[in-house]
Chain A
Amino acid sequence: MSAQHSKALPDLGGVLAPKFEAQRKLALIVAVVGLVGAGAMAGITGNMRLLQFSWLYGCMYFLTLGLGALFFVQLQHLTRAGWSVVVRRIAEHVASALPVVALLLAPLVIATLMGNGDLFKWANLDLIRNDPDESISGTLHLYEHKAPYLNGTFFLVRFAIYVVVWFGLVRFFRTRSLQQDVDGDPMHTVKMVRIAAPGMFLFALSLTFAAFDFMMSLDAPWFSTIWGVYTFAGAFMSFMSLLGLLALRSESKGYLRGLVTPEHYHDIGKLMFAFVFFWSYIAFSQFVLQWYADIPEETLWYKHRMEGGWANLSWVLLFGHIFIPFLGLLSRHVKRNRAGLRFWACWLLCIQAVDLYWVIMPNYDHHMHLPVMELFCLLAVGGVFAFVALGSAAGRNLTPVKDPRLPESLAFTNI
């Protein structure tokens, strides 16, 4: 593909930089409704443990979306991609909500630091020691073994590192990109390419250990080396779906009309499809190895998810996360069709919520319940997430207008 395939940027007359005032207000209302709902439920039932689990769940859902966005931005620079330039700014704005969502985890981290074992049992070993259930008190030695890693202080330190790394990376890419809108200096692109490579290292390590800390250690005796990859697969898949939805919405609102074409949707759809498959591959690898070897400390994790109501959710994942979207997204016509892509993007965003629910909530209770508190927390965090991302986007170009590869992106066609 050479740069001669140029296509002039159509004159959009300021539509490219909407203010999003109504949308931000709506996001704030959603956040408040979620917060009030969750607070009221916690106040009435007095179930602070459920509140903590639900809050973690809500945060993890949007954290993975933000991480997916950060990965997308870095990947496009690292591979010097041309096609994606027109939608890259959307990812930059979504990623800018990542450090804020991470900070929303702070109350949980502080509670853990203060020895509250509601969420992370390892925060208070007395809970394990005095548990009447022998299958829990019998694992005390494992908790003691892991204490040098799983303890409140180190947890806080790691959490601080994640926030700093994410904040630094997100800020770097967003500021450079916005600066380029003003001065049009191609050097910004060169520098972003240079930072993307070491940035990927930081990203991979921070995502992996954050996944270990906030999800794997909920069931501290359990372990899986692939856990970081599993979390990443879901994160990127869900972000690509979100990106598809946001691009569709921006186009229908007129912000990106004439810029985003079915060619771009096709590529977004391809990445969604690829990561449906990749997630299936990683999830199957983890499952089949633990299922086949049948070692108690590993299979217990799956056993909890195959009993009670959780078995139903496992089936939902098997079909809803693997077979159905795989067949649904197989055809190129679906990926190029706006309605088709919108449907599957919504589907995958829902299934990511199911996946994380299935990962986190069995640690709360071995029996499934109606997820009311969880939905309130999802709304609360989602409202904040949207508010921050929209705030980042407000009044700024929704596409990097002076990116040197924008003409290539606009003229891009699939084979």
Chain B
Amino acid sequence: MGHDSNHTPAHYIRIWGVLCVLLVISILGPELEIQVVTLITAFGIAFVKAYLVIKHFMHFNTEKPIIWYMMITGFALMVVFVAGTAPDVHNHDGARWSNTASKAWIEQQMIAGEAGAEHHGGDHAADGDHAEGDDHAHDEGAKGADHGEAAGH
């Protein structure tokens, strides 16, 4: 690795500052509760943060081609594994099959979750804080699940 102005402590601290600002944006973005904004601020910014770390902290752009080939191979293998399992996981229906157990489970849990959220206002859960009564909410969710199962039948 060379010794240019991009390898000084001041530069690294600047990059760290940018990463922290991006973190704040990724936390505040989803507060707007707009799906597109959430996707961009939470996941889009994660890619930007990863890029900054890879480029400025790992100096990956200066690595030899063999390193790039190795990493690309790893990502390609990952894509193959994921693509191979995705149809079974992501879909509940296919051309000649239907995962009825999974669909019934989702329906049951949605009823249970919505019942639990209505019962407790849902506000304290949404902020991610374990407010008083959270364990109670969990119990209610379990009760709701039983109710959902009965309703499903």
- Chain B binds chain A: no
